[in-house]
Amino acid sequence: MVNESRLTKEFISLASLDSPSFHERKVADTITATVQAMGLEVYEDQGGLVYGGDTGNLYFTLHGEPNVPSLLLMAHMDTVVPCVGKHIIVEGDIIRSDGTTILGADDVAGLVEILETLRVIQENDIPHGNVEVVLTFGEEQSLCGAKVLEFDRIKSKLALVLDNHGVGKAAISGPSQYQLFATFHGKAAHAGVEPEKGLSAIVVAAKAISQMKLGRLDFETTANAGVIKGGEATNIVCDCCTVSFEARSRNAEKLEAQVAHMKAVMEATAEQAGTTVTIKQEFLYPAFKIPEEDSFIKLFQTCCKKVGLEPVLEATGGGSDTNIISGKGIKALDLSCGMTDVHTLSESIRISDMVQGTALLIAMIQEIVETGGRNL
Task: Please compute the mean of the pLDDT values over residues 299-304 and round it to a whole number.
Answer: 96
Question: Are the CB atoms for 131 and 118 separated by under 8 Å?
Answer: yes
Q: What is the pLDDT of residue 372?
A: 79
Question: Are the CB atoms for 187 and 99 separated by under 8 Å?
Answer: no
Q: How far apart are CA 353 and CA 339, in angstroms?
A: 9
pLDDT digits (tens, 9 = 90+) for 244-296: 999 999 999 999 999 999 999 999 999 999 999 999 999 999 999 999 999 99
334-to-40, 72, 238, 282 alpha-carbon distances in Å: 25, 12, 44, 24
Task: Please compute the mean of the pLDDT values over residues 339-362 and round it to a whole number.
Answer: 96
113 is catalytic: no
Is pLDDT above 90 for 2? yes
pLDDT digits (tens, 9 = 90+) for 220-250: 999 999 999 999 999 999 999 999 999 999 9
Q: What is the pLDDT of residue 190?
A: 97
Is pLDDT above 80 for 26? yes
Q: What is the pLDDT of residue 343?
A: 93
179-to-37, 74, 149, 186, 313 alpha-carbon distances in Å: 42, 25, 22, 23, 28
Q: What is the pLDDT of residue 157?
A: 96
Q: What is the pLDDT of residue 376?
A: 83
DSSP-derived 3-state class of residue 373: coil
Q: What is the pLDDT of residue 70?
A: 96
The confidence band for 200, taking pLDDT boundaries of 50, 70 and 90, is very high
Chain-centroid distance of CA 167 in Å reads 17
Is pLDDT above 90 for 8? yes
pLDDT digits (tens, 9 = 90+) for 51-107: 999 999 999 999 999 999 999 999 999 999 999 999 999 999 999 999 999 999 999
Is pLDDT above 90 for 209? yes
Is pLDDT above 90 for 145? yes
Q: How far apart are CA 334 and CA 349, in angstroms?
A: 18
Whether omega for the bond prior to residue 82 falls within 30 degrees of 0, making it cis, is: yes
Number of residues assigned to the chain:
376
Q: How many CA atoms lie within 13 A of 332 on its CB side?
A: 28
Is pLDDT above 80 for 360? yes
Question: Are the CB atoms for 100 and 40 separated by under 8 Å?
Answer: no
The confidence band for 373, taking pLDDT boundaries of 50, 70 and 90, is confident
Is pLDDT above 80 for 186? yes
Task: Please compute the mean of the pLDDT values over residues 158-162 and round it to a whole number.
Answer: 97
Burial category of 352 from C-beta neighbours within 10 Å (exposed 0-12, middle 13-18, buried 19 and up): middle
Q: How far apart are CA 114 and CA 181, in angstroms?
A: 37
Domains of the chain by start residue, with CATH: 4-174+287-371 (3.40.630.10), 176-284 (3.30.70.360)
Is pLDDT above 90 for 371? no
Q: How far apart are CA 256 and CA 237, in angstroms?
A: 34
Catalytic one of 10, 78, 106, 163: 78
The confidence band for 184, taking pLDDT boundaries of 50, 70 and 90, is very high
Q: Which residues pair with 204 in a beta bridge?
A: none
Question: Are the CB atoms for 287 and 364 separated by under 8 Å?
Answer: no
| For the chain, counts of helices (H) and of strands (E) | 9, 17
Catalytic one of 10, 24, 132, 139: 139
Query: Strand runs (DSSP E) across the chain, as ranges?
Result: 43-44, 58-62, 71-76, 88-91, 94-97, 131-136, 158-165, 169-174, 176-185, 215-218, 221-230, 240-249, 277-285, 288-289, 312-315, 331-339, 348-350
78 is catalytic: yes
